[in-house]
């Protein structure tokens, strides 16, 4: 009897030691997944896609897969990583925000992006929207007006191996003439009008999604479509709230 108790006591000790060790490792991968992904974040991301995106009728499989693949937590400040998969926008510094996951998916789907497309984004911010688009199209050009945000996004995208995205610091109001025309244009800051240079740089048959309205008032997500003949049709899609499109000299 005494021998049995001794053996069990030892087993118990070994069991405790192993449990503590596994707990320690699982916590480490949760708290410090600085490079790459972790199972825990992946689970949160899949849940985000089901509960926030599929549940709200986004059906494009390419968009859903991109939202499952891009590690959103790597695009928010470290102290916000735990909130990365919540149903809301998040601050990314300099008074700017990364959009709510549903809005990113919705705007991406609206553009009906195809794999041979060249896309242009105004408002790189964290680089998240560009990363999502880059999973679907051939090439993404993106412009950010706040230098440190644009530089950080460029570095992040490079580290995460998004090699088909080119970032530029500048005023996206003017588009990016050098690489125009674009199959799709996405503007992730609100303007009181649709910038004419962007309309010009949209390919015939192309689509542009842009929030239009007052900086802190009512804004509408608009879809501008250019027919194969160059005719323009603009539709009001959804009331939204975006940070304002800045103009350098204002
Ligand atoms: N698409 C971003 C979020 C955008 S927030 C993401 O996925 O994280 C809007 C961004 O637009 C901000 O970073 C802001 O600095 C930028 N912005 C505002 N006006 C701009 C302009 N005229 N040209 C380029 N970027 C602009």
Write out pLDDT tens, residues 143-157: 999 999 999 999 999
Which of the residues 99, 126, 134, 191 is marked catalytic? 99
Q: Distance from the CA of 22 to the center of ligand 1, in angstroms?
A: 42
* Integer angstrom CA distances of residue 229 from 21, 33, 195, 202: 66, 50, 20, 12
Tell me the mean pLDDT in the region 74-102: 97
For residues 68-79, b (16+ Cβ closer than 10 Å) or e, as one string? eebbbbbbbeee
Q: Return the pLDDT at 36.
A: 54
| pLDDT recorded at residue 221 | 98
**CB distance 245 to ligand 1 below 6 Å:** yes
Distance of CA 145 from the midpoint of ligand 1 (Å) = 7
Q: Is 99 one of the annotated active-site residues of the chain?
A: yes
Is the pLDDT higher at 165 or at 5?
165
Pocket probe for ligand 1: among 97, 105, 145, 249, the residue whose CB has the most ligand atoms within 8 Å is 145
From the CB of 246, is ligand 1 less than 6 Å away?
yes
- 112 close to 207: Cβ distance less than 8 angstroms: yes
In short, whether 118's Cβ falls inside 6 Å of ligand 1 is: no
Check pocket membership of 243 for ligand 1, CB cut-off 6 A: yes
Say whether pLDDT at 21 is over 50: no
Strands 90-93 and 96-98: antiparallel
172-194: average pLDDT:
98
Work out the mean pLDDT of the chain and round it to a whole number.
Answer: 89
- pTM comes to 0.87
Q: Which pLDDT value is given to residue 51?
A: 98
Residue pair 212/237 in contact by the 8 Å Cβ criterion:
no
pLDDT surpasses 90 at 178: yes
pLDDT for residue 234: 98
Top pLDDT among 69 and 2 is at 69
Query: In 3D, which of 142, 69, 146, 152 has the Cα closest to residue 105?
Result: 69
Exposure class string for 111-126: b at 16+ Cβ within 10 A, else e: bebeeebbbbbbbbbb
C-alpha 149 to ligand 1 mean position (Å): 9
Minimum-distance ligand 1 atom for the alpha carbon of 132:
7
Is the pLDDT reported for residue 4 higher than 70? no
pLDDT at residue 247 greater than cutoff 60: yes
Question: What is the 197 CA–ligand 1 centroid distance (Å)?
Answer: 17
Interhelix angle 39-48/61-69, rounded to 10 degrees, is 150
Q: What is the pLDDT of residue 215?
A: 83
Shortest-distance atom of ligand 1 to CA 130: 7
pLDDT digits (tens, 9 = 90+) for 201-234: 999 999 999 999 998 888 999 999 999 999 999 9
State pLDDT tens for residues 39-54: 999 999 999 999 999 9
List the single range of 9-13, 202-206, 241-245 with lowest mean pLDDT. Answer: 9-13
| Span 161-169, average pLDDT | 98
- Using alpha carbons, list the distances in angstroms from residue 69 to 38, 44, 204: 12, 12, 31
For position 31, what pLDDT does the model report?
42
End-to-end CA distance of the chain: 86
| Mean pLDDT comparison of 11-15, 20-24, 133-137, highest-scoring range | 133-137
- Residue 134 DSSP symbol: H
């Amino acid at each position: 009897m005494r021998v049995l108790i001794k053996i069990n006591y030892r087993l118990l000790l070994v069991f405790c030691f192993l449990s503590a060790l596994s707990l320690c490792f699982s916590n480490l991968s949760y708290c410090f997944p600085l490079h790459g992904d972790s199972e825990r974040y992946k689970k949160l991301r899949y849940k985000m896609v089901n509960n926030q995106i599929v549940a709200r009728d986004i059906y494009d499989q390419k968009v859903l897969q991109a939202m499952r693949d891009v590690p959103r937590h790597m695009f928010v400040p470290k102290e916000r990583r735990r909130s990365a998969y919540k149903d809301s926008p998040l601050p990314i510094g300099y008074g700017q925000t990364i959009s709510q996951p549903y809005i990113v998916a919705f705007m991406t789907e609206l553009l009906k992006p195809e794999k041979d497309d060249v896309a242009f984004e105004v408002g790189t911010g964290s680089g998240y929207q560009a990363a999502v688009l880059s999973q679907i199209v051939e090439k993404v050009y993106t412009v950010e007006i706040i230098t440190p945000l644009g530089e950080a996004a460029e570095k992040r995208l490079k580290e995460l191996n998004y090699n088909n995205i080119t970032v530029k610091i500048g005023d996206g109001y003017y588009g990016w003439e050098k690489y125009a025309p674009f199959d799709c244009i996405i503007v992730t800051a609100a303007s009181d009008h649709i910038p004419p240079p962007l309309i010009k740089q949209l390919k015939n048959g192309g689509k542009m999604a842009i929030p239009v309205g007052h900086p802190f008032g009512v804004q509408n997500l608009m879809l501008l479509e250019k027919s194969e003949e160059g005719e323009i049709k603009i539709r009001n899609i959804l009331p939204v709230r975006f940070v304002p499109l800045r103009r350098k000299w204002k």
